[in-house]
Amino acid sequence: MKKTAPEPVATVQQEEHRVLLVEDDVGLQKQMRWALSPYIVDVAGSRLEALDKISAAKPYHVVVLDLGLPPDENSASEGLKALDEILNLTPQTKVIVASGNVERANAVRAVAKGAFDFVAKPLDSEVLKIIIDRAIRMHELEEENKQLREHSARATDGLVYGSEKMAQIAQVLDRVGPMDVSVMLIGETGTGKEVLARALHRLSPRNTQPFVAINCASIPENLLESELFGHEKGAFTGAIKRTHGKFEMADNGTLFLDEIGDMPLPLQSKLLRFLQERRLERVGGRESITVNVRLVTATNQKLEKLIAEGRFREDLYYRINDVRIDLPALREREGDPVLLAQYFLNGFNKTYSKHISGFTEDALAALSVHPWPGNVRELENRVKRAVIMAENKRITAQDLDLGDIKTGDRDLNLRKELAKVEKRLATEALALSDGNISKAAKLLGVSRPHFYSLIGHS
């Protein structure tokens, strides 16, 4: 049967509350429908009809279930069965059982099975309404909680890794992300410093506020101060209006200072002053402005060395370094290159509408042995190139431009060299043991069959 009522328009703030009344008494159906008018009420006259309605529609918030359903209105068996089935189908639905001519004990059993509450028949529509209101509130709270859980960020979101080293870093991120501490990220180029900086922001209570990144190495020294701290109109030639710096833009959020090792010394002093006072002055201005930022910094340089050379302020180093995270190079993360390659392949398949299914054996081997001087960024670029260039279903080492022949050759040679050495040792051992194979094998610490294979017998 089609409903004649117009489809409810779902909006975010005002969701309609849907109630299913499972009741075989037609008079009661009518009366209840009327009493519960603010809700969208559907009715079902039997267990099967109820299940049909529940499977067809989007989940009901509340089901009011008469325990005494046909064929045997005087026993609760059909009702209890329906209860089990409803909770199986839509566990989030709140079921209120109604019991009249069946024993109250069954209502208690129903609640034990997971019903939200029970009401006695004859139904008092006021009481029922209060119970339904409560059930709906509970339902909403539970949904909200579920969404919060689903949406609550974890470091691992968007971070691909399988290695133990990165798993440890993810744990550190989860711990320090929500705390208002300065974090310094140290790692080679392309290791994912910016990815981590963003993860820290996402994990913090500041995540609805701006994340502002600035690369200290890419901006000429004379412009960097104004970029960071802003300037007043007329502060210098070309300063035609007051401009906010990155600090002000990041107010209440996170400021990511990339390549902090390249920050000129005078600016280091100004940054230190800001970190002590949490106030700044724009270039050419006198007004002192309070800014609330969480600082995340990154560098691929050895700051200790810069400090020793007098190029980085030691006091600043300690200020920006509440927590220091050292990112391992990709070649040190066992298993990650292959995982990341797979991940990037999926992404680029989508971007370029390709259907490449994976990597050949030689490509996987090449991914694992390549030293990755450009780390994850290099890997990403190679996979991108390969996806664009690949002519086959699977990406080869050649597609990745990872000298398949070179690594393969070196491997083979190594194995050959080893075999030669082994054979020489075996021969010597045999000579030392006067030709006694058992003794010779013992001398080399290998089994007899293994020894045979070493001297080239089978």
**Closest approach of Cβ 327 to ligand ATP, in Å?**
7
**Closest approach of Cβ 196 to ligand ATP, in Å?**
7
Instruction: Calculate the alpha carbon distances from 158 to 45, 154, 336, 343, 348 in Å.
Output: 49, 9, 14, 10, 15
Considering the complex, state which of residue 225 and residue 259 has its C-beta at the smaller distance from ligand ATP: 259
Q: Which helix (H) or strand (E) holds 19?
A: strand 18-22
Residue 159 interacting entry, from ligand ATP, Mg ion, none, C-beta within 5 to 8 Å by type: ligand ATP
Q: How many helices (H) and strands (E) does the chain have?
A: 18, 14
Residue 235 interacting entry, from Mg ion, ligand ATP, none, C-beta within 5 to 8 Å by type: none
Q: Does 159 bind ligand ATP (CB under 6 A)?
A: yes
8 contacts 52 by C-beta, under 8 angstroms = no
Considering the complex, state which of residue 159 and residue 289 has its C-beta at the smaller distance from ligand ATP: 159
**Dihedral, 122, 127, 130, 132 alpha carbons, nearest 10:** -10
Instruction: Calculate the alpha carbon distances from 121 to 64, 95, 117, 124, 236 in Å.
Output: 12, 16, 13, 8, 84
Considering the complex, state which of residue 284 and residue 374 has its C-beta at the smaller distance from ligand ATP: 374
Residue 192 interacting entry, from Mg ion, ligand ATP, none, C-beta within 5 to 8 Å by type: ligand ATP
Distance CA 87, CA 42 (A): 18
Residue 319 interacting entry, from Mg ion, ligand ATP, none, C-beta within 5 to 8 Å by type: none
Q: Which of residues 188-247 bind Mg ion (CB under 5 A)?
A: 194
Q: Does 202 bind ligand ATP (CB under 6 A)?
A: no
Instruction: Calculate the alpha carbon distances from 401 to 31, 333, 347, 407 in Å.
Output: 76, 21, 19, 12
Q: Does 380 bind ligand ATP (CB under 6 A)?
A: yes
Considering the complex, state which of residue 219 and residue 364 has its C-beta at the smaller distance from Mg ion: 219
Q: Which stretch binds ligand ATP (CB under 6 A): 100-108, 227-235, 376-384, 429-437?
A: 376-384
Q: Does 377 bind ligand ATP (CB under 6 A)?
A: yes
Distance CA 141, CA 161 (A): 34
Distance CA 373, CA 369 (A): 12
Which residues contribute to the site for ligand ATP (CB under 6 A)?
159-161, 187, 189-195, 300, 376-377, 380
Which residues contribute to the site for Mg ion (CB under 5 A)?
194
